[in-house]
Structure 1
Amino acid sequence: MKNLIYIFFLFTNLWLSAQDNVKIQIIDSTKIKAKSVFGIDTFGTLYYATANNTFNKKTKDTTITYANFQLGEITAANTFNPLKINLFYKDFNTVIILDNRLAEIFKIDFNTLQPYKNVSFVSTGFDNTLWIFNQDFQHLELYDYKANKVKQKTVPVQSEVLDLKSDYNHCYLLTQNYLYVYNYFGSLISKYKNEGYNSLAFSKAHLVLNNENSLYILSKESAEIKPIAYSNLLINQFLVTNESLYIYDGEILRQYQLKLK
């Protein structure tokens, strides 16, 4: 009898767990050869880098490019604000700001600033600001690059930083120990224990986390991180735009619809 009760509860828990999984449905796929895919907007505009470290903006009709070979490899690109795209070149501790035609409108060389900043992660802030992680002091700074002024800073974190994403209102900092969520004042509003996550993607509505070859989602309408149910795919990179999840395997960029309800 005890064994029957145990089996009942086991299958009940498995069924409930399955119900908690967020489901996805494939709706499109595109072949693309890219070194890194950085973003895709609601109009299908794709931002990516090729093997020669050229940054590309591809629409249905045209592709325009930007290259700065003196700065080497593009470590990260933030396309949240298409009028102020920022490219981060970590090896040279430099950020380039581009307009929507990929024309250079601002250059931030942290090596020449006073005080000097050793930056390891960069993401978009509001107006003329960037969220930057200061490696020497182990804290986030909301940095106004036109005024060369730190507007906000957080308390130092105590473990290795793995990823950083943001929009105008929130900033998500993933470390080995925790996922930290800050508002635009730099105040910590929530944190979650890192259950093996190593990278993240973020849009206005959802945050998606990667744990090896598994994906999880944290919706703005929920305080719970839920697994995403999908067939086992190679995840080279992943992106999220509104209700769409994109998974790139190195050859094909697949678009999935998130089914949250």
Structure 2
Amino acid sequence: MQNIFKIVFLFHFCFGFCQQKNIGLTHLETQKTEADAFVGKDAFGYNYTLSDNVFRKENKQQKWDYKNIALGKIEQVDLTNPLQIVLFYKVMNAVVVLDNQLNETIKINFSETNPELLPQWVGLTTQNRLWLYDQASQKLGMYDYQKNTFHPISVPFETPIIHSKSDYNYFYWVDNQQNLYASNNYGKISFLGKIPEFDQIQIISSKQILLKKGALLNLFEVEKQTSQIVSLPEKSFDNFYYKEQILSIFTTNEIRNYKIILP
């Protein structure tokens, strides 16, 4: 009976996490780059990269750089709004907000303004606020960067966050048990499903996730618990980014852009 149970369990696991279909794509262009890391691409065709901890925005005609040596390493970049780009300097407990020409518009040093906070994840939301997960209290909340106030909207999280992504209305996160959750602006938390292990991840929506594991890129359907392989010609790549039907693949010295239509 125990063996039968194991077989049934493995069947359901593989049906959800191992079922594979392929998603095709069309090559659009290849761009040379000397960047250390690829952050993303916006709807206007600008690439965002990091080189020696310098944040860069560029296309074929224009280029802007932002560097702040005093704040140390850039830990996280939020491109929710290209007019309000959020840079998070985790070690120095600081956040910088940039405009579309990478001019500094807001700088927050939490060690000075809110020493009780220990931000771990930060992202842009509405009404002059930031999503902020505070590691000290283990609570998710809203930070008003004009008033320098933090308003928790959750009880303490029971498990550590290993990845997060946010937009104006939702904060998504994956915990160390591979569980995917979402919270709205009012603190209503929803369990969305379990996801496979990954090396890199981009949460597209509450229903779809792109996962890199080894040299493979998969589209994972959270509700259906099924995955589809994205048919990449690259045998290996460093990073990827998806935005409005454009999939950008970052290799050692190139950014390759593909047209892709997700089901």
Structure 1 and Structure 2 fold alike (TM over 0.5):
yes
**1:45 and 2:69 correspond:** no
Mapping for residues 109-124 of structure 1, pairs under 5 Å: 109-114=109-114, 116-124=116-124
CA shift, 1:242, in A, is 1.4
Secondary structure of the residue that 1:142 maps to in structure 2?
strand
Divergent runs of 4+, >6 A: none
| Residue pair 1:126, 1:167 contacting (<8 A) in 2 also | no
CA shift, 1:139, in A, is 2.6
**1:195 and 2:191 correspond:** no
CA distance in 2, matches of 1:225, 1:84: 35
Aligned residue for 1:211? 213
CA distance in 2, matches of 1:228, 1:143: 38
- After superposition, the Cα gap between the structure-2 partners of 1:65 and 1:37, relative to the gap in structure 1 and judged at 3 Å, is same
Aligned pair partner of 1:240 in 242, 249, 256: 242
Structure 1 unaligned regions, length at least 5: 1-12
| Residue pair 2:33, 2:253 contacting (<8 A) in 1 also | yes
Aligned residue for 1:154? 154
CA shift, 1:92, in A, is 0.4
Summarize deviations over 1:101-133 as a string: whole Å, max 9, x none.
211111111111335211122222123221122
| Residue pair 2:210, 2:219 contacting (<8 A) in 1 also | yes
CA shift, 1:176, in A, is 1.5
Secondary structure of the residue that 2:147 maps to in structure 1?
coil
TM-score, structure 1 length as denominator?
A: 0.82
- After superposition, the Cα gap between the structure-2 partners of 1:211 and 1:188, relative to the gap in structure 1 and judged at 3 Å, is farther
Structure 2 unaligned regions, length at least 5: 1-14
Name the count of aligned residue pairs.
245
Aligned residue for 1:4? none
Aligned residue for 1:36? 37
Mapping for residues 1-261 of structure 1, pairs under 5 Å: 17-19=19-21, 21-51=22-52, 53-114=53-114, 116-177=116-177, 178-202=179-203, 207-217=209-219, 224=225, 226-231=227-232, 233-261=235-263
CA shift, 1:225, in A, is 5.3
Secondary structure of the residue that 1:70 maps to in structure 2?
helix
CA distance in 2, matches of 1:176, 1:158: 10
Secondary structure of the residue that 2:120 maps to in structure 1?
strand
Secondary structure of the residue that 1:48 maps to in structure 2?
strand
CA distance in 2, matches of 1:45, 1:125: 22
CA distance in 2, matches of 1:23, 1:139: 41
Secondary structure of the residue that 1:56 maps to in structure 2?
strand
CA distance in 1, matches of 2:188, 2:24: 33
CA shift, 1:186, in A, is 2.5
Summarize deviations over 1:43-85 as a string: whole Å, max 9, x none.
211111112x111110231101111111121111112211111
State the AA in 2 paired with 1:140.
L
| Residue pair 1:38, 1:78 contacting (<8 A) in 2 also | no
| Residue pair 2:19, 2:226 contacting (<8 A) in 1 also | no
Aligned residue for 2:10? none
State the AA in 1 paired with 2:84.
K
| Residue pair 1:240, 1:246 contacting (<8 A) in 2 also | yes
CA distance in 2, matches of 1:75, 1:239: 17
TM-score, structure 2 length as denominator?
A: 0.82
CA distance in 1, matches of 2:187, 2:211: 22
| Residue pair 1:94, 1:109 contacting (<8 A) in 2 also | yes
Aligned residue for 1:8? none
Secondary structure of the residue that 1:155 maps to in structure 2?
coil
